[in-house]
């Protein structure tokens, strides 16, 4: 990807730059742990996370979106590649080269929200202990009293009653627990929050509350989000830019509206088409139903990994893996696609045909 | 059924209380306690065990006689019948017994004990009889109960082969039999946590080596192993030393199951998001172990330990019964049962088997308590 | 086993009630769960009917009772669940039986399950035994319910595997489930459930755990196979998108109650109940431009602490004090075939 400015390794507005990120898991067998293969969970991923934006990583299970996010925060160490992080005007630092002690500082600024709010909160600790834990570890408070004040403030921030800080997680519903997880993530005033399927486990009515809360907090605190999700409608609502992943690679990345209305990769087109829409009028629309299943990252097809399922595939796709290149969006925005025929294909987004039908009905 | 939303339901906490302020701020141990107390059989068992341990601790006071004091004339005397009604049909508020008169069976010349209905010996609380030193410290002659006449002998559960009071000996035997389980389990606990923790935390080669050792140990049949080890014990060792040697022998196998549990929990907990989150918070390894991992499985381990105690008790009983464990003059339930080995005993003096009843009750009680603890040990129902 | 030969079945001659043209009629179904913690009214008075060949959706959030409703119909409730009231009338052959009155393990229900009413689940692995081939299991199911030779059953199984779009039925029939990918397992499960050509298929969240492209395949398969075989389908899901894509009519449930019921067009375009409206505005749309979403306030109450009156009044933006918390609102027909349980549309006469 070519967003890098002359000044250095990172894009101008980037707070995190991921460069040539690779995460391979060896497939071992037998007592002697003989390596018989490799799962290419993340395979040469490049992108910039710009300050103040929400970038979504979307894709189906096994596409490498969660592994990518874990490699950024170094919860899993990448096989190769760099993850640059820059605070203000400081020099970018490569997180992949840091030892545990050094990472502690960086991780103050990059925090994580998990999918399952039942597993991510220690049931044996009170809210005060859970939310106060990062503050205590990083010695950001002087006294127990100060800790109480800070935690109460954080609870207010996520719209929970601050008087509940002595309660245990079992006193809260799924949506409230996710608010607690958000409060913990925000307790160290981070710059970047990685939300790993943060709303997928919630009921729709509560999911909407959390989506709106995340947006408000972003405006209020100037946060940058990396939003890992599989639900395209949720991503469309929440993200400024979207990166679509397939079999460990980014196949398309662009501004949300642009990507949804005029996708430039056949996989994106198929994903958008497959997403069920809560509107019975679109019931009989022509849908692209992909044949087969997601490519196995342990046994990728040659050429473009998507070619066995792609209805536009030609010989070239079976032999040559496409590069992620800027195909140009509207109004001079960049729009990258990893498809040999990105320039020539006429792909359908959410605007196609459907729009006029809908208008007629209202 | 789809898991209901709203506040996470807690098993064992009554519905009406789910929104109670106390529940909202209840810690793990409180929730476990509430849940445990709903398990009636476990609570009853806990009371029984509590009573047993009380008796064991205050054995000198609870037992009416000295365990070594023998009365030859009462050899193999049966248990007394405790009466409230005298031969004339009068009711007495204070229970009494008739002393035994010994006669010989005219055919077999075996001793026959008949109650002498002309004499009434009333029972009493805090009566004087054999002097003792409680825990070797406090001298006294006062016993919890007994016959008011210091020279008469109450045969609550019968007398043994040399005329010692069986009930007294069971009470003293409880000391060894009940503590050998606790001490043995404490040993196993220590070894299990140490090796299981190392195995689970370090993983890799260490884990593999420890697991192979555990498998080898578990592959050995326990009873022959114990027998082989106890034969090696010098027979002139003092009681206390033999006792600890037996404990160590019993723990050689006991720790392996605890180690496995600890290792398994370790691996499972490391997968929980909240442990990963703590690592990303910058928490040190020690902090993660003591603040996140240990509290999460301590309750579970305790439940497992409770279930391991009966094995220790049975082990000691078995070893002593076959004569390889503790030897007289030490008193344990196993030692007492050795008296009941002869077939003659079963026919003529069945009360010598009474220590078995105590063994069975103790083991059942530990199992019930363990079950209750296990059910209560994780009060958080995961979705 | 042939049904007419079974004397046990003969006893159950027509039971009265239920519209004659409906395949399944559920009236005032109440299923409760009893535990040490208390009683949960998982399904609390639900009524609906389904005509032959129709696709009905049952939708709602977790804890609304949609899955329990389907388990009640097939009488496969967990041990602590009990149907305490209601009727489930199934048009069976040329008579109607009330499934609630039957023994859950009796001949009638055993015959109906799999043959007349089939079910597919979220997790396809649970439908199959891992130690038998797919073919063996399908053939066995066919031979339990129909008197056909092994060869005929084998033919039927092959045919069914072909219909559900298995790539090479002749090979797949001898495979075990662990040889198949997730999407293929889903298809095999559909083939198994449809092997006896049931009149009703109950699909309980069949697309929840799968990726969106596999979900699209599954929905297409259900649509095609329904057009092909003409069975009725009850689609149970929390995903309103799936409802809109597949069903003809929909029933929205909340905490064991039916809140709204009508054609998908009516319910999605003219939602009447505040809960339905809230659900629809909560979902981000796949439409161009910025479409705001509006969440429903609060959380679903604990099943042990159910609100009085209308179950939704604690979260309702249109809550009428002194009315909604008093009594359950009755179902009111706001348009032909469109019923709503809400005091905004009447039913207040019943209150004192």
Highest mean pLDDT among A86-90, B233-237, C7-11: A86-90
A201 close to C276: Cβ distance less than 8 angstroms: no
Neighbours of chain A (3+ CB pairs under 8 A): B, C
**Distance separating alpha carbons of residues B163 and B299, to the nearest angstrom:** 46
- B 11-30 residues with CB < 8 A to C: 11-16, 18-19
Distances (CA, A) of B211 to A183, B268, C162: 41, 17, 49
> Do A251 and A335 sit in the same domain of this protein?
yes
| Chain A neighbors of B379, CB-CB under 8 A | 170
**Distance separating alpha carbons of residues C202 and C323, to the nearest angstrom:** 37
Which DSSP string corresponds to B23-86? HHT--HHHHHHHHHHT-HHHHHHHHHHHHHHHHHHTHHHHSSS-TT---GGGTTPPPPPPEEE-
Residue B269 lies in a domain: yes
Verify whether the Cβ–Cβ distance B38 to C61 is below 8 Å.
no
> Do A218 and A348 sit in the same domain of this protein?
yes
Q: What angle do CA B140, B142, B145 make, to 5 degrees?
A: 150
pLDDT tens string A37-77 = 888 899 999 999 999 999 999 998 889 999 999 999 999 99
A323 close to A246: Cβ distance less than 8 angstroms: no
Best residue in C180, C269, C295 for a mutation probing chain A (most A CBs within 10 Å): C295
- Tell me what the pLDDT averaged over chain B comes to: 79
> Do B194 and B321 sit in the same domain of this protein?
yes
Q: Using 50, 70 and 90 to split pLDDT, how confident is the model at C10?
A: very low
- C 295-334 residues with CB < 8 A to A: 295-297, 299-300
**Where is the domain boundary, B113, B144, B164?**
B164
B305 close to B147: Cβ distance less than 8 angstroms: no
**Where is the domain boundary, B164, B190, B208?**
B164
Chain A residue with CA closest to C295: the answer is A208
The tokens for C226 are 């329904």
Specify the pLDDT at position C234: 95
> Do A55 and A175 sit in the same domain of this protein?
no
> Do A282 and A143 sit in the same domain of this protein?
no
Please give the residue range of the domain that contains residue A170: 120-189
For residues C64 and B244, which has the higher predicted lDDT (pLDDT)?
C64
Q: How far is C204 from chain B (nearest CA, A)?
A: 11
Specify the pLDDT at position C117: 92
Chain B residue with CA closest to C31: the answer is B1
> Do B305 and B345 sit in the same domain of this protein?
yes
Chain B residue with CA closest to C304: the answer is B15
Q: Using 50, 70 and 90 to split pLDDT, how confident is the model at A360?
A: very low
A128 close to A147: Cβ distance less than 8 angstroms: yes
Which DSSP string corresponds to A247-303? TTEEEEEEEHHHHHHS--SHHHHHHHHHS--S-GGGTTS------S----TTSPPSS
| Chain A neighbors of C246, CB-CB under 8 A | 283
Type and span of the H or E element at B207: helix B204-219
Q: Which CATH number belongs to the domain containing residue B293 in this structure?
A: 1.10.3720.10
Neighbours of chain B (3+ CB pairs under 8 A): A, C
For residues A253 and C352, which has the higher predicted lDDT (pLDDT)?
A253
Chain A residue with CA closest to C315: the answer is A205
Q: Which CATH number belongs to the domain containing residue A300 in this structure?
A: 3.40.50.300
| Chain C neighbors of B38, CB-CB under 8 A | 36
| Chain B neighbors of C42, CB-CB under 8 A | 1
Helix B294-321 / helix B239-271 crossing angle, nearest 10 deg: 150
Tally Cβ neighbours within 10 Å of residue A347: 21
> Do A164 and A28 sit in the same domain of this protein?
no
Q: Is the pLDDT of residue C35 over 90?
A: no
> What does DSSP say about strands A249-255 and A224-229: parallel, antiparallel, or unpaired?
unpaired
DSSP-assigned beta bridge partners for residue A82? A19
Verify whether the Cβ–Cβ distance C213 to A271 is below 8 Å.
yes
Q: A12-16, A347-351, B346-350, C199-203 — which is least confidently predicted?
A: B346-350
| Chain C residues interacting with chain B (CB cutoff of 8 angstroms) | 33, 36-38, 40, 42, 61-64, 66-68, 71, 78, 81, 299-305
A34 touches chain C (CB under 8 A): no
Specify the pLDDT at position C19: 52
Please give the residue range of the domain that contains residue B146: 63-164
Residue A114 lies in a domain: no
Verify whether the Cβ–Cβ distance B3 to C62 is below 8 Å.
yes
A114 touches chain C (CB under 8 A): no
First to last CA, chain C: 56
C211 close to A61: Cβ distance less than 8 angstroms: yes
Domain count, chain A: 2
Verify whether the Cβ–Cβ distance B5 to A173 is below 8 Å.
yes
**Distance separating alpha carbons of residues A87 and A109, to the nearest angstrom:** 9
A177 close to A169: Cβ distance less than 8 angstroms: yes
Residue A1 lies in a domain: no
> Do A93 and A53 sit in the same domain of this protein?
yes
The tokens for B140 are 């006294």
Type and span of the H or E element at C216: helix C212-229
Type and span of the H or E element at B108: none
> Do A228 and A337 sit in the same domain of this protein?
yes
First to last CA, chain A: 43
Residue B284 lies in a domain: yes
**Where is the domain boundary, A189, A213, A247?**
A189
B278 touches chain A (CB under 8 A): yes
Q: Which residue in the set C220, C244, C284 is minimally distant from A233, CB to CB?
A: C284
Type and span of the H or E element at A131: helix A127-137
B140 touches chain A (CB under 8 A): no
Best residue in B3, B6, B10, B19 for a mutation probing chain C (most C CBs within 10 Å): B6
Residue B302 lies in a domain: yes
Q: How far is C326 from chain A (nearest CA, A)?
A: 25
| Chain C neighbors of B13, CB-CB under 8 A | 37
> Do A194 and A184 sit in the same domain of this protein?
no
B6 touches chain C (CB under 8 A): yes
**Where is the domain boundary, A189, A219, A244?**
A189
A153 close to B324: Cβ distance less than 8 angstroms: no
Residue A139 lies in a domain: yes
Neighbours of chain C (3+ CB pairs under 8 A): A, B
pLDDT tens string C294-305 = 999 888 888 878
Q: Is the pLDDT of residue B16 over 60?
A: no
| Chain A residues interacting with chain B (CB cutoff of 8 angstroms) | 73, 75, 104, 107-108, 111-112, 114-116, 118-124, 126, 133-134, 137-138, 164, 166-174, 184, 203, 206
Best residue in C124, C182, C283, C312 for a mutation probing chain A (most A CBs within 10 Å): C283
Specify the pLDDT at position C280: 93
Task: Tell me if the bond preceding B329 is cis, omega within 30° of 0.
Answer: yes
Q: What angle do CA A114, A118, A120 make, to 5 degrees?
A: 40
Verify whether the Cβ–Cβ distance A230 to C296 is below 8 Å.
no
- Tell me what the pLDDT averaged over chain A comes to: 88
Residue A3 lies in a domain: no
Verify whether the Cβ–Cβ distance C303 to B9 is below 8 Å.
yes
| Chain B neighbors of C66, CB-CB under 8 A | 2
> Do B275 and B361 sit in the same domain of this protein?
yes
Residue B84 lies in a domain: yes
**Where is the domain boundary, B124, B142, B164?**
B164
The tokens for B85 are 């009604």
pLDDT tens string B159-202 = 777 778 888 888 888 888 888 878 888 888 888 888 888 888 77
pLDDT tens string C88-126 = 999 877 788 898 888 888 888 888 888 899 998 877 777
B237 touches chain A (CB under 8 A): no
Residue B35 lies in a domain: no
Domain count, chain B: 2
| Chain A neighbors of B23, CB-CB under 8 A | 170-171
A31 touches chain C (CB under 8 A): no
> Do B232 and B93 sit in the same domain of this protein?
no
Q: For B134-141, what is the mean pLDDT?
A: 80
Q: Is the pLDDT of residue A4 over 50?
A: no
B373 close to B46: Cβ distance less than 8 angstroms: no
Specify the pLDDT at position C4: 42
C291 touches chain A (CB under 8 A): yes
Distances (CA, A) of C189 to A247, C54, C118, C132, C207: 27, 21, 11, 14, 12
Residue A64 lies in a domain: yes
Residue B155 lies in a domain: yes
> What does DSSP say about strands A224-229 and A54-58: parallel, antiparallel, or unpaired?
parallel
Chain A residue with CA closest to B204: the answer is A33
Specify the pLDDT at position C20: 61
Residue A97 lies in a domain: yes
> Do B372 and B235 sit in the same domain of this protein?
yes
| Chain C neighbors of A274, CB-CB under 8 A | 212-213, 215-216
Of A251, A263, A268, which Cα lies nearest the Cα of A321? A251
Distances (CA, A) of C7 to C11, C12, C98, C112: 7, 9, 17, 15
> Do B339 and B236 sit in the same domain of this protein?
yes
Specify the pLDDT at position B14: 46
> Do B213 and B358 sit in the same domain of this protein?
yes
> Do B224 and B246 sit in the same domain of this protein?
yes
> Do A202 and A327 sit in the same domain of this protein?
yes
Q: What angle do CA B164, B166, B171 make, to 5 degrees?
A: 115
Q: Is the pLDDT of residue A353 over 50?
A: no
Which DSSP string corresponds to B145-182? EEESSTTS---SS-B-TTS-BHHHHHHHHHHHHHHHHH
The tokens for C45 are 């008075």
> Do B226 and B265 sit in the same domain of this protein?
yes
Residue B12 lies in a domain: no
> Do A229 and A315 sit in the same domain of this protein?
yes
pLDDT tens string C241-275 = 999 999 999 999 999 999 999 999 999 999 999 99
Q: Using 50, 70 and 90 to split pLDDT, how confident is the model at B11?
A: very low
> Do B238 and B95 sit in the same domain of this protein?
no
Q: Which residue in the set C38, C78, C300 is minimally distant from B15, CB to CB?
A: C38
> Do B185 and B68 sit in the same domain of this protein?
no
Residue A115 lies in a domain: no
Verify whether the Cβ–Cβ distance B9 to C302 is below 8 Å.
yes
**Where is the domain boundary, A189, A213, A248?**
A189
Residue A90 lies in a domain: yes
Q: For B283-308, what is the mean pLDDT?
A: 82
Residue B50 lies in a domain: no
């Amino acid at each position: 990807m070519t967003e890098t400015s002359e000044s250095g390794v990172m894009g101008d507005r980037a707070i995190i730059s991921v460069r040539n990120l690779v995460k391979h898991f060896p497939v071992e067998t037998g007592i002697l742990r003989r390596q018989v293969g490799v799962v290419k969970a993340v395979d040469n991923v490049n992108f910039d996370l710009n300050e103040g934006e929400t970038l979504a990583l979307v894709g189906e299970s096994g596409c490498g979106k969660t592994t990518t996010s874990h490699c950024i925060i170094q919860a899993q160490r990448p096989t190769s590649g760099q993850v640059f992080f820059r605070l203000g005007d400081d020099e970018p630092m490569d997180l992949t080269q840091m030892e545990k002690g050094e990472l502690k500082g960086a991780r103050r600024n990059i925090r994580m929200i998990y999918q399952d709010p039942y597993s991510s909160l220690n049931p044996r600790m009170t809210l005060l202990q859970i939310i106060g834990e990062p503050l205590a570890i990083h010695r950001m408070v002087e006294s127990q009293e100060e800790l109480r004040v800070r935690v109460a403030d954080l609870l207010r921030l996520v719209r929970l009653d601050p008087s509940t800080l002595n309660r245990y997680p079992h006193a809260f519903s799924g949506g409230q627990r996710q608010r607690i997880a958000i409060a913990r993530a925000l307790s160290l005033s981070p710059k970047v929050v990685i939300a790993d399927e943060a709303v997928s486990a919630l009921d729709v009515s509560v999911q909407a509350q959390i989506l709106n809360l995340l947006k408000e907090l972003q405006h209020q605190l100037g946060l940058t989000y990396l939003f890992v999700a599989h639900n395209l409608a949720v991503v469309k609502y929440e993200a400024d830019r979207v990166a679509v992943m397939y079999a460990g690679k980014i196949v398309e990345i662009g501004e949300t509206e642009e990507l949804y209305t005029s996708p430039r990769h056949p996989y994106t087109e198929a994903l958008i088409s497959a997403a069920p829409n809560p509107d019975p009028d679109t019931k009989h629309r022509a849908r692209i139903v992909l044949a087969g299943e997601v490519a196995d990252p342990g046994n990728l097809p040659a050429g473009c990994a998507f070619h066995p399922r792609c209805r536009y595939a030609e010989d070239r796709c079976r032999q040559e893996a496409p590069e992620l290149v800027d195909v140009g969006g509207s109004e001079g925005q960049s729009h990258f696609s990893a498809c040999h025929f990105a320039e020539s294909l006429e792909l359908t987004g959410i605007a196609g045909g459907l729009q006029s039908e809908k208008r007629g009905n209202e | 059924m789809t898991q209901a939303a709203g506040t996470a339901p807690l098993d064992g906490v009554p519905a009406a209380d789910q929104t109670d302020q106390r529940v909202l701020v209840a810690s793990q141990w409180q929730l476990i306690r509430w849940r445990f107390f709903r398990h009636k059989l476990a609570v009853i068992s806990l009371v029984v065990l509590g009573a047993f341990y009380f008796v064991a601790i205050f054995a000198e006071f609870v037992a009416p006689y000295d365990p070594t004091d023998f009365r030859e004339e009462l050899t193999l005397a049966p248990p007394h019948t405790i009466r409230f009604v005298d031969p004339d049909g009068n009711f007495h508020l204070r229970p009494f017994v008739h002393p035994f008169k010994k006669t010989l069976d005219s055919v077999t010349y075996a001793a026959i004990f008949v109650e002498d209905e002309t004499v009434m010996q009333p029972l009493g609380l805090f009566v004087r009889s054999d002097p003792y030193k409680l825990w070797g410290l406090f001298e006294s002659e006062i016993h919890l109960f007994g016959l008011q006449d210091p020279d008469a002998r109450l045969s609550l559960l019968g007398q043994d082969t040399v005329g010692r009071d069986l009930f007294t000996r069971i009470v003293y035997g409880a000391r060894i039999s009940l503590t050998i389980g606790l001490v043995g389990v404490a040993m196993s606990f220590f070894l299990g946590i140490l090796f299981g923790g190392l195995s689970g935390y370090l993983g890799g080669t260490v884990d593999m080596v420890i697991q192979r050792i555990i498998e080898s140990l578990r592959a050995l049949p326990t009873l022959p192993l114990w027998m082989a080890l106890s034969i090696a014990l010098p027979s002139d060792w003092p009681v206390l030393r033999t006792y600890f040697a037996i404990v160590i022998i019993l723990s050689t196998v006991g720790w392996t199951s605890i180690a496995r549990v600890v290792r398994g929990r370790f691996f499972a907990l490391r997968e929980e998001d909240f442990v990963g989150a703590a690592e990303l918070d910058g928490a040190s390894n020690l902090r993660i172990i003591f603040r996140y991992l240990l509290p999460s499985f301590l309750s579970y381990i305790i439940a497992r330990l409770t279930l391991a105690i009966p094995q220790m008790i049975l082990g000691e009983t078995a070893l002593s019964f076959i004569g390889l464990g503790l030897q007289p003059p030490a008193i344990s339930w196993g030692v007492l049962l050795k008296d009941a080995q002869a077939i003659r005993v079963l026919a003529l003096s069945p009360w010598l088997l009474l220590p078995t009843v105590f063994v069975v009750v103790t083991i059942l009680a530990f199992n019930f308590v363990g079950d209750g603890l296990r059910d209560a040990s994780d009060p958080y129902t995961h979705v | 086993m042939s049904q007419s030969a079974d004397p046990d079945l003969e006893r159950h001659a027509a039971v009265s009630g239920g519209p004659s043209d409906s395949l399944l009629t559920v009236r005032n179904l109440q299923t409760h769960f009893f535990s040490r913690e208390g009683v949960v009214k998982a399904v609390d008075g639900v009524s609906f009917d389904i005509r032959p060949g129709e696709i009905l959706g049952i939708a709602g959030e977790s804890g609304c009772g949609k899955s329990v409703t389907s388990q009640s119909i097939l009488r496969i409730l967990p041990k602590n669940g009990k149907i305490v009231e209601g009727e489930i009338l199934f048009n069976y052959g040329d008579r109607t039986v009330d499934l609630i009155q039957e023994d859950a393990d009796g001949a009638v229900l055993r015959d109906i399950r799999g043959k007349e009413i089939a079910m597919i689940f979220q997790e396809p692995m649970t439908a199959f035994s891992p130690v038998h081939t797919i073919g063996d299991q399908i053939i066995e199911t066919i031979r339990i319910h129909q008197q056909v030779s092994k060869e005929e059953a084998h033919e039927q199984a092959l045919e069914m595997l072909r219909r559900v779009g298995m790539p090479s039925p002749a090979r797949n029939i001898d495979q075990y489930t662990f040889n198949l990918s997730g999407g293929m397992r889903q298809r095999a499960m559909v083939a198994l459930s449809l092997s006896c050509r049931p009149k009703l298929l109950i699909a309980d969240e069949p697309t929840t755990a799968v990726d969106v492209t596999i979900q699209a395949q599954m929905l297409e398969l259900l649509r095609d196979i329904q057009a092909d075989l003409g069975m009725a389908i009850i689609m149970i899901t929390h995903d309103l998108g799936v409802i809109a894509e597949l069903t003809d009519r929909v029933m929205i449930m909340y905490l064991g109650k039916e809140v709204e019921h009508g054609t998908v067009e009516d319910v999605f375009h003219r939602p009447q109940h505040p809960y339905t409206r809230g659900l629809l505005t909560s979902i981000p749309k796949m439409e161009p431009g910025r479409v705001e979403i509006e969440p429903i306030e609060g959380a679903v109450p604990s099943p042990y602490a159910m609100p009085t009156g209308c179950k939704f009044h604690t979260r309702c933006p249109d809550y009428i004090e002194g009315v909604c918390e008093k009594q359950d609102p009755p179902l009111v027909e706001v348009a032909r075939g469109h019923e709503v349980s809400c005091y905004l549309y009447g039913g207040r006469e019943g209150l004192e």
